[in-house]
């Protein structure tokens, strides 16, 4: 018998003795995929928890600048406690109101002031700075925020503003803020409520 014939015969015997179990193989593959999916979800949950813990630690470290309470009322030192200002507002910052800043701030801004003291900012497309992680406190006349602390206002304490309701919405007036970028965005014009 030639080598070629012996190989063919051996392969034929091997093929005849092998009976695949597709159901068992399929179950092993899907179990592995489910395990990987569960592991990805668990890792995402751990990452989210770590981010929250990191934010709490940062907030505690910056406690002298700005703290957020879990109640519906927050306070600004030197004034009585009252319900916080919350809601979604928009304003358009004109090109002449913010010259000489590191980032372009002119354009349409949307601020959402949440009941838990966060500022969710949506900048115009031309703005390339950081707007995440901002906090605020508000009483019936005072507003204090850490908006832009990671870029435009780096190294500057939280800004303090007076705020009033106007016919068109809300107006902020800077009382104690050394950050020109934050003043340019917040105090440039009235903020109109968004439904």
Q: Going by C-beta distance under 8 Å and a sequence separation of 6 or more, which residues neighbour residue 181?
A: 98, 101, 102, 103, 105, 148, 152, 153
Share of the chain above pLDDT 90, in %: 26
The reported pTM is 0.57
Between CA 118 and CA 161 the distance in angstroms is: 16
> Where along the chain do its domains lie?
3-61, 73-194
Mean pLDDT check: name the lowest of 6-20, 39-53, 77-91.
77-91
Structure tokens at 64: 């002298």
Neighbours of 17 (CB within 10 A): 7
Whether residue 174 is predicted with pLDDT greater than 90 in this model: the reply is: yes
What would you report as the CA-atom Rg of the chain, rounded to the nearest whole angstrom?
Answer: 29
Please tell me the total number of residues recorded for the chain in this structure.
Answer: 195
Query: What average pLDDT does this structure show over 98-120?
Result: 84
Residue by residue, DSSP assigns 69-85 as: -SSSEE--TTS--EEPP
Backbone φ and ψ for 145, nearest 5 degrees, come out as -145, 155
């Amino acid at each position: 018998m030639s080598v070629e014939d012996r190989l063919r015969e051996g392969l034929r015997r091997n093929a005849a003795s092998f009976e695949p179990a597709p159901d068992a193989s399929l179950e092993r593959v899907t179990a592995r995929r489910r395990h990987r999916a569960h592991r990805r979800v668990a890792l995402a949950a751990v990452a989210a928890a770590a981010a929250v813990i990191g934010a709490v630690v940062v907030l505690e470290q910056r406690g002298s600048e700005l703290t957020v309470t879990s109640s519906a009322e927050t306070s600004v030192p030197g004034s009585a406690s009252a319900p916080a200002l919350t809601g979604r507002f928009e304003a358009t910052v004109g090109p002449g109101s913010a010259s000489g800043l590191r980032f372009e701030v002119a354009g349409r801004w949307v601020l959402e002031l949440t009941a838990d003291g966060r500022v969710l900012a949506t900048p115009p497309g031309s703005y390339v700075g950081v707007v995440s992680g901002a906090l605020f406190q508000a009483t019936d006349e005072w507003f204090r925020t850490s908006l832009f602390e990671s870029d435009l206002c780096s190294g500057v304490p939280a800004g303090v503003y007076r705020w009033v309701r106007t016919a068109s919405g809300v107006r902020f007036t800077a009382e104690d803020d050394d950050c020109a970028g934050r003043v340019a965005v917040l105090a440039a014009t009235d903020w109109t409520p968004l439904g």
